Structure 1
Amino acid sequence: MADDLRTSPWISTKCPNHYDILSCADGHGYVLSKKTSESAYFEDHAQLAAFLADHARVVFRKGHPDGGYGRTEVNIWEASGMFDKQRERRIAKAQRSALSKLFPSDARHPPAFVRPGEFARGGRTRDLFDLLPDRPRPGRGPLI
């Protein structure tokens, strides 16, 4: 039943054993820690999108500017391009680092269910960063 609470935008992480990002049908956003069963609460999906946008660009210590992996991952939440185990690991590590800043937390947990009258009003979006029209969109595409 918990999967029925999910609504767009859907965000998948490279660290599913540690954290889960949930846009809930009640209009709130949550980040769930699977290790500690804690949750971080956001008043709406736009606040969740703002947090993720603030932590989208990561500069790594290692990287090869002349080919292979660069030092910059422009958007760890919507990474695209070629993937191998090394890139998957470094994006997962960056995501874990960003999401761990929300914990420890004593915020409220997602509801067990949402009644029809409790569904969030307003349009839905498939893309998380469309919720932030006043901010520049985090970069998309392969490593630079």
Structure 2
Amino acid sequence: MQIHLSDDGVPLYQQVVQQIQHRILSGQIAGGAEMPAIRTLAERLRVNPNTIARAYRELEQAGLVEKRRTRGTFVTSSPTAMSSQKKREAIEPAIDQLIVLARGLGVDGKELSQWVLRRDEHMQRQGGEQS
């Protein structure tokens, strides 16, 4: 699992949560898949194991992963069955970043909304997620 950490001011555990969350919700990590062990992922990313443990707790609270005693951490079987509130909480950071970028470029909310809707329609026609 590739995770890229940066020193942009976002706490490391949040960067881990956001990237794993994206991979789960986009289907890159399938329901039922086993997550790397905390120590293994911490060593790979060169971070304290507590950072990964905290990220996994956040993902568990969001209903995306579950701990199975003595077996490890696994992606829940139906991560897309999250509550509406959890879905909103999952997507809000990306929306916030988009709004900040748009404002910096002088794009107002109405125009941004139109662009998002058009992009969504385009992606639906293309059959899924675009990079």
Identify the structure with bigger relative contact order (alpha carbons < 8 Å, sequence gap 6+). Answer: 1
Give TM-score scaled by structure 1 length.
0.24
Which is richer in helix?
A: 2
Which is richer in strand?
A: 1
